[in-house]
Chain A
């Protein structure tokens, strides 16, 4: 079975500051890891995915995430926050079955 834990339900950053969203996973098999973003009244959009290739994964909109097996982590970062980054972010994991298991989400607000 696979699961993820997102640390912090809400993150507030200033425009131009670093965005860091934390995700730890648990998996009995080598995991596939994903970050999705959800804007108000919309579905989920894939930011990036890790599928056992490079441990540093670059995604859309300037986001990237690093897979650290020793820490069972897959934290999401963006060097400089933009107002348009305000949204809810979900970390998800899948393994040897067909379902995605999502974290509870982290809401990001960006201060001008």
Chain B
């Protein structure tokens, strides 16, 4: 059973460019969350998608946007890249409705490492 798959695994962009990262959730999961992990830090919540809508958002600017498709896969878009956007971007999937808000266990992908020059 495939887990969470992310693409691309690595990419290099320059300041001002735009990037799209992709995520396929674990089979049977319907919810996708995105996290940013800067070097030496813990992951920071960007947003979560459920039923093709953004359900909750962390403290990230509007340059960060996303989308969820009918097959539950998701994209993260970042516009006008800054040097500080360099990080590992982690996608996590879960199944909503099993145990309440916070009890849902997230399954993480291996991440997309973005370097902004």
Query: Which residues of A does B touch, CB under 8 Å?
Result: 31-32, 34, 36, 41-46, 49, 51, 90, 92, 94-105
**Which residues 30-75 of B have a CB within 8 angstroms of A?**
33, 35, 40-45, 48, 55-56, 58
Instruction: Report the interface size for chain B: residues with CB under 8 A from the other chain.
Output: 27
8 Å CB contact of B48 from A46, A49, A99: A99
Q: Mark B90-115, 1 if CB is under 8 A from A, else 0.
A: 10100000010111111111110000
Q: For A97, list chain B residues within 8 Å (CB).
A: 56, 101-102
- Tell me if B101 and A95 are in contact (CB < 8 A): yes
Q: For A34, list chain B residues within 8 Å (CB).
A: 105
Q: For A98, list chain B residues within 8 Å (CB).
A: 33, 48, 55-56, 101-102, 104
Q: For B33, list chain A residues within 8 Å (CB).
A: 98-100
Give the residue name and chain of the B residue nearest to A33 (CB): B102
Check if B4 is an interface residue, CB within 8 A of chain A: yes
- Tell me if B42 and A105 are in contact (CB < 8 A): yes
Query: Which residues of B does A touch, CB under 8 Å?
Result: 4, 33, 35, 40-45, 48, 55-56, 58, 90, 92, 99, 101-111
- Tell me if B90 and A43 are in contact (CB < 8 A): yes
> What is the CB-to-nearest-CB distance from A41 to chain B, in angstroms, rounded to a whole number?
7
15 chain-A/chain-B pairs, Cβ below 8 angstroms: A41-B110, A43-B110, A43-B111, A46-B106, A49-B105, A94-B103, A97-B101, A98-B102, A99-B58, A100-B33, A100-B35, A101-B45, A102-B43, A102-B44, A103-B42
- Tell me if A90 and B48 are in contact (CB < 8 A): no
- Tell me if A96 and B42 are in contact (CB < 8 A): no
6 interchain residue pairs of minimum CB distance: A94-B102, A102-B42, A43-B108, A32-B102, A99-B45, A44-B108
